[in-house]
């Protein structure tokens, strides 16, 4: 019996693959991957594996999805060959991108399947850019939503109350999304950021406001993670790359004696 | 110069550590860890490393936090020794748990720091239990919130609109949380699940409803991930461990010929 692993490739840096994903990629017979998987991650793949690119492009999602299902059937069946098939998806395999549907397809066809969670870009990319999604006194929650295929602007009013909002696949419709959030009560000067190619050496961070985005003044290249909320301001406070020695906010912490530390 | 790495330990299974976290643990001089780090993960740690347990217990958070800061200062300074100090946190280091504050402390004290994202339990634990947080036509978004230290029930009305709601550290106040969500308009029979010790062989999943939780009828042990939403129903549809061959929902998918597949 062959087995399909639905594996998260993480945000791009191959060191952010899980140990399990790394091992599976090194012994895979077949790797099916899409547009969000980085070249660095693909270098980890067993050189003898059959690699199949199945990136989705605008307007042909359904056609490509059928090719993915066809590949599952083709490689898992036949000839008594036991294959390790890795379906590799950017970030975490169950955060958007139809991972759950692919799992359902495999279940329905009696193909053995296992989910291998990955580091989600929604959480990791902002953090690596100096924006933690939660911070005591600033953000007690975060919402992750896709900017793609939403049923129109009214939907966004539901997300306007989130402490921190992360929009994946939101570059194309960024101006409408920003305007919808403003219409739902968010301030024009609410800080927002786009992080392109997060976790890689080509990372680019754009810090801006909802107002500027709504006015169409912010240039961003897809794919990028779009973050909205007060936590974006924290970025200026972290001494990234050790360049800044002074913290921009007063940090008053009483340091207790280390005597009470429990060693294990 | 010593360096502090703020590292995510993932949900519990050591195979779900990132490659970067694994390597850092194997060469660490000092590892500061808390209650949510699993025994399996600790087995990865360099046996010569100085391990310090700094778990937070109810009512002594501030005291322990000061001990963590004292340990940062103590191990990073002095004697010209260059140490690799790993601050190991369950899940992702920037999802709750004061990771951002620790980063701020390090910045303010000129201590070199780097964030190493991990697999967040909020996403991975439900998925491993058969509950993807997103699913086309069922859930287009998810919200992650802490059940600890919220400013009271009215806060929960803000989260009631989420397609899928994940509550971390929500076991203790589960009845109040469920009641607040019902008061905010969620149905009594809205499915919910608790996953205890997710990703480990001791995983236990309780599938229930908001109504039963609000009535105090659901026994759960902390820590557990608490998930609320229609996606909980998907769990029954996945053929976990290959026991179920029949899918509970009709899946109608046309499989196209694989001729158009692009090989790379």
Distances (CA, A) of A230 to A124, A141, A209, A248: 17, 12, 10, 15
Q: B143, A141: Cβ pair inside 8 Å?
A: yes
**Percent of chain A with pLDDT strictly greater than 70:** 86
* Residues in chain A closer than 8 A to B258 (CB atoms): 67, 70-71, 74
- In the predicted structure, residue B80 carries a pLDDT above the cut 50: yes
Grade residue A194 by pLDDT with cuts at 50, 70 and 90.
very high
pLDDT digits (tens, 9 = 90+) for A34-64: 888 999 999 999 999 999 998 766 677 788 8
**Percent of chain B with pLDDT strictly greater than 70:** 86
d(CA B143, CA A141) in angstroms, rounded, equals 7
| Nearest in space to A38 (alpha carbons), one of A21, A23, A59, A63 | A21
Greatest mean pLDDT among A154-168, B18-32, B139-153, B227-241 lies in B18-32
Grade residue B248 by pLDDT with cuts at 50, 70 and 90.
very low
The number of C-beta contacts closer than 8 angstroms across A and B is 258
Grade residue B251 by pLDDT with cuts at 50, 70 and 90.
very low
Q: How far is B174 from chain A (nearest CA, A)?
A: 17
Q: B117, A135: Cβ pair inside 8 Å?
A: no
- In the predicted structure, residue B88 carries a pLDDT above the cut 50: yes
Q: CA angle at residue B226 from B152 to A12, to 5 degrees?
A: 110
Q: Are A46 and A17 in contact (CB under 8 A)?
A: no
Q: CA angle at residue B142 from B141 to B145, to 5 degrees?
A: 155
Token pair of B60 as six digits: 């002594």
Active site (catalytic) residues of B: 34, 56, 169
pTM for this entry: 0.89
Grade residue B246 by pLDDT with cuts at 50, 70 and 90.
very low
Q: B19, A20: Cβ pair inside 8 Å?
A: no
Contacts of A169 (CB under 8 A, 6+ apart): A96, A146, A147, A148, A222, A223
- In the predicted structure, residue B7 carries a pLDDT above the cut 90: yes
Out of A74, A149, A260, the one facing B258 most closely (by C-beta) is A74
Active site (catalytic) residues of A: 34, 56, 169
* Residues in chain A closer than 8 A to B112 (CB atoms): 242
Across residues A206-235, what is the average pLDDT? 96
Q: How far is B59 from chain A (nearest CA, A)?
A: 16
Task: State whether residue B242 is helix, strand or coil.
Answer: helix
Beta bridge partners of A224: A196
What local confidence, expressed as pLDDT, does residue B152 receive?
52
Q: How far is B216 from chain A (nearest CA, A)?
A: 25
* Residues in chain B closer than 8 A to A40 (CB atoms): none
Q: A100, B140: Cβ pair inside 8 Å?
A: no
d(CA A162, CA A160) in angstroms, rounded, equals 6
pLDDT digits (tens, 9 = 90+) for A128-140: 999 999 999 899 9
Long-range CB pairs of A245-250 (<8 Å, 24+ gap) are A245/B110, A247/B104, A247/B107, A247/B108, A249/B104
Distances (CA, A) of B52 to A166, B41, B55, B106: 34, 14, 9, 18
Average pLDDT, chain B: 86
d(CA B253, CA B234) in angstroms, rounded, equals 18
């Amino acid at each position: 019996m062959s087995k399909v692993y639905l594996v998260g490739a993480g945000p791009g840096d191959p060191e952010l693959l899980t140990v399990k994903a790394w091992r599976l990629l090194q012994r895979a017979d077949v790797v099916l991957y899409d547009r969000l998987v980085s070249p660095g991650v693909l270098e980890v793949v067993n050189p003898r594996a059959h690699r199949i690119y199945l990136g989705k492009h605008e307007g042909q999602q359904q056609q490509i999805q059928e090719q993915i299902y066809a590949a599952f059937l083709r490689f898992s069946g036949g000839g008594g060959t036991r294959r390790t098939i890795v379906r590799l998806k950017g970030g975490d395999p169950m955060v958007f991108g139809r991972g759950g549907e692919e799992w359902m397809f495999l279940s329905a066809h009696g193909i053995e399947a296992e989910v291998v969670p990955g580091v989600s870009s929604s959480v990791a990319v902002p953090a690596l850019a100096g924006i933690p999604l939660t911070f005591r006194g600033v953000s007690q929650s975060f919402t992750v939503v896709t900017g793609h295929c939403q049923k129109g602007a009214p939907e966004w009013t539901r997300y306007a109350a989130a402490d921190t909002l992360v929009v994946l696949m939101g570059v194309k419709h960024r101006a409408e999304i920003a305007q919808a959030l403003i219409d739902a009560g968010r301030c024009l000067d609410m800080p927002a950021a786009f992080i392109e190619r997060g976790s890689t050496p080509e990372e680019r961070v754009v810090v801006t406001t909802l107002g500027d985005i709504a006015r169409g003044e912010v240039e961003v290249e897809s794919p990028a993670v779009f973050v909205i909320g007060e936590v974006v301001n924290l970025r200026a406070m972290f001494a990234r790359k050790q360049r800044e020695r002074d913290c921009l906010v007063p940090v008053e912490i009483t340091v207790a004696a280390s005597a009470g530390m429990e060693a294990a």
